[in-house]
């Protein structure tokens, strides 16, 4: 088998190799059961332990107090764009959205189908290059919640502070930076994140919801779109993504072994600095997309002198074992996604490749 590549894909994304090895070793017989975790009833005591382990791992790593429920839901973060207003936006109130990129823009459009929304900030006119100063935003007096995206995966802009909305519940799409740094859980009403970047494989979304918000859910929602059913039935109103939940538990074990989110944040900062340094010292050969103060530590977005050179860069990088660098199809350019599982050696290899490519083409 060819050696594994350095995978810079934005999601599904690299999973730590020790996690994959452990899953491989247990694939045919999970904990001596004689069957794969994928073949096991979700109602078995063994699987209940697997689910509890994944939830406990997230609770510990994110320091989530007991008054937060941790739910595993299918349908991706995209389904959350609909479930959140269905569950939490009553008639007569408004949802304030802080739109700093493509995903936040989608979330606002979707929420508008279910109720009244207001954009407290909209960075679309400037091409989503920046995040606002959160302290300078003002919110609607009747806001049911304020929603934002902590890291915009496509545009590569990230908030480096957490929103305090003065008592209005804060909803945060943390899909592409959850577990990359510590959070102050008490700042949030609801956090959601697709697993496929920093937590595991695609097909399962983590929803963390504060107890009092559950009480706001109206009656009459479709069964699988009602958060209360996931709370009542321990994330199993129907058959959950057992494989995804199992892998989340393994990723949490791995992250604890690394020293947890404080340690991983330091590593993530170092990794991002290496790439931004190459961009900044390239005398314009590489142009970063985001404003400096809004740069993402997870998705480093940049361009070369032309779209044609962008493409050549990606092709040559792939041949050198640096995979998944093409920017999102909606924006083009190059994007290096360097989530927790990307080792520093992978980032160093990309930085070397960037320097070399520049000297050959600059
Ligand atoms: N929010 C963010 C921040 C994302 O990066 C993504 C996709 N990667 C989504 C939402 C949508 O995820 P999905 O396609 O799994 O619904």
Give mean pLDDT in consecutive 10-residue pieces for the chain, a chain of 362 residues: 87 98 98 97 98 98 98 98 98 97 98 97 96 95 97 98 96 98 98 98 98 97 98 98 98 98 98 98 97 98 97 98 94 96 98 98 88
**Under 8 Å CB-to-CB from 34, ≥6 apart: which residues?**
none
pLDDT of residue 2: 59
Q: Where are the domains of the chain?
A: 18-257, 260-361
Whether 149 lines ligand 1, by a CB cut-off of 6 Å, is yes
What the block records as the tokens of 260 is 């947890």
Residue pair 343/16 in contact by the 8 Å Cβ criterion: no
Nearest CA among 91, 84, 100 for reference residue 137:
100
pLDDT of residue 362: 81
| CATH number, span 18-257 | 3.40.640.10
Whether 155 lines ligand 1, by a CB cut-off of 6 Å, is no
d(CA 123, CA 98): 9
Which of the listed CATH numbers 3.90.1150.10, 3.40.50.720, 3.30.565.10, 3.40.30.10 matches domain 260-361? 3.90.1150.10
Name the residue of 150, 152, 175 whose CB sits within 8 Å of the most ligand 1 atoms, as the mutation to test its pocket: 175
Q: State in Å: Cα 178 to ligand 1 middle.
A: 12
User: Do the strands 143-149 and 151-152 form a parallel or antiparallel pair, or are they unpaired?
Assistant: unpaired
Strand partners, 181: none
pLDDT of residue 3: 83
Name the residue of 13, 74, 78, 201 whose CB sits within 8 Å of the most ligand 1 atoms, as the mutation to test its pocket: 78
H/E stretch holding 94: strand 94-99
pLDDT of residue 1: 45
Whether 203 lines ligand 1, by a CB cut-off of 6 Å, is no
Q: State in Å: Cα 32 to ligand 1 middle.
A: 36
């Amino acid at each position: 088998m060819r050696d594994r590549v350095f995978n810079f894909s934005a999601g599904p994304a690299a999973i730590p190799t020790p996690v994959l090895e452990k899953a491989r070793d247990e694939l045919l017989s999970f904990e001596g059961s004689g069957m794969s975790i994928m073949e096991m009833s979700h109602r078995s005591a063994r699987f209940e332990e697997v689910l509890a382990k994944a939830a406990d791992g997230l609770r510990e790593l994110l320091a989530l107090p007991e008054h937060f429920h941790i739910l595993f839901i299918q349908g991706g973060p995209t389904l959350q764009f609909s479930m959140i207003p269905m569950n939490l936006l009553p008639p007569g109130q408004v949802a304030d959205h802080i739109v700093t990129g493509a995903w936040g823009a989608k979330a606002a459009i979707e929420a508008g189908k279910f109720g009244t929304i207001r954009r407290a900030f909209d960075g679309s006119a400037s091409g989503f290059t920046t995040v606002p100063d959160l302290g300078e935003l003002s919110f609607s007096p009747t806001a049911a919640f304020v929603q934002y995206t902590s890291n915009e995966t496509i545009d590569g802009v990230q908030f480096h502070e957490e929103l305090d909305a003065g008592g209005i519940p804060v909803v945060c799409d943390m899909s592409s930076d959850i577990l990359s740094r510590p959070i102050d859980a008490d700042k949030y009403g609801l956090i959601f994140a697709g697993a496929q970047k920093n937590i595991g494989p695609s097909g399962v979304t983590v929803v963390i919801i504060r107890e009092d918000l559950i009480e706001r859910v109206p009656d009459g929602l479709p069964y699988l779109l009602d958060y209360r059913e996931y709370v009542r039935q321990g994330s199993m109103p129907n058959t959950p993504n057992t494989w995804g939940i199992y892998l989340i538990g393994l990723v949490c074990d791995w992250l604890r072994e690394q020293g947890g989110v404080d340690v991983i944040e330091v590593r993530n900062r170092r990794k991002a600095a290496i790439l931004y340094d190459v961009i900044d010292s390239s005398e314009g050969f590489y142009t970063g997309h985001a404003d400096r103060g809004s740069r993402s530590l997870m998705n480093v977005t940049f361009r070369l002198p032309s779209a044609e050179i962008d493409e050549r860069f990606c092709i040559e990088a792939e041949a050198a074992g640096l995979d998944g660098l093409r920017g999102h199809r909606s924006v083009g350019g190059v994007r290096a996604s360097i989530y927790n599982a990307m080792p520093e050696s992978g980032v160093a290899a990309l930085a070397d490749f960037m320097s070399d490519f520049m000297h050959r083409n600059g």
